[in-house]
Amino acid sequence: MSEETPEFAHAPGAATGLFRSLTNLFATLVTLAQTRLELLTTELQEEVQRVVGLVVWGLVSLLAGMIGLILGGLTIIFLYWETHRMLAAVLVTATFFLIAAVAAMVLVAKVNARPRFLDATLTELARDGESLRKKAGD
């Protein structure tokens, strides 16, 4: 009785081809992961910059409002005590409230205009998943 060997044992090129295919697949996956991580870090940096901008405009709005209130009160006490004290107080106070209102409107516009968090990364990952599903179906 002769001992039979499987066909693939006689084909060393098939094992090498399989190993090469697995290596290429692994290299592709690593490259894909690297690209997605780079996109993720870029989006995180953009989000941090956006948040810093929002905080700055929020502080400007708050500070201008507070200065308006303080100066409005001091203006009533010190400026034009004897003549036109109300007109001067109203004008100074209105100016700072106007600055606070503009800063608040800029802040609201920036908050409403923000893109979805990690939008580009999530879109690319969805495309990758769809591409892999199509290839798996072939």
The per-residue pLDDT for 3 is 52
pLDDT per residue as tens, the chain (138 positions): 445 555 545 555 666 878 888 888 888 888 888 888 888 888 888 889 989 999 999 999 988 888 887 876 776 667 677 888 778 778 778 877 888 899 899 989 988 887 777 777 778 777 877 777 777 666
Instruction: Give the C-alpha separation, 124 to 71, whole Å.
Output: 53
- Reading the block at residue 107, the tokens are 């802040």
The per-residue pLDDT for 26 is 80
The per-residue pLDDT for 56 is 94
The per-residue pLDDT for 11 is 54
The per-residue pLDDT for 60 is 92
The per-residue pLDDT for 81 is 74
Question: 65, 47 in Cβ contact below 8 A?
Answer: no
The per-residue pLDDT for 106 is 92
Name the pTM for this structure: 0.44
The per-residue pLDDT for 113 is 83
The per-residue pLDDT for 52 is 93
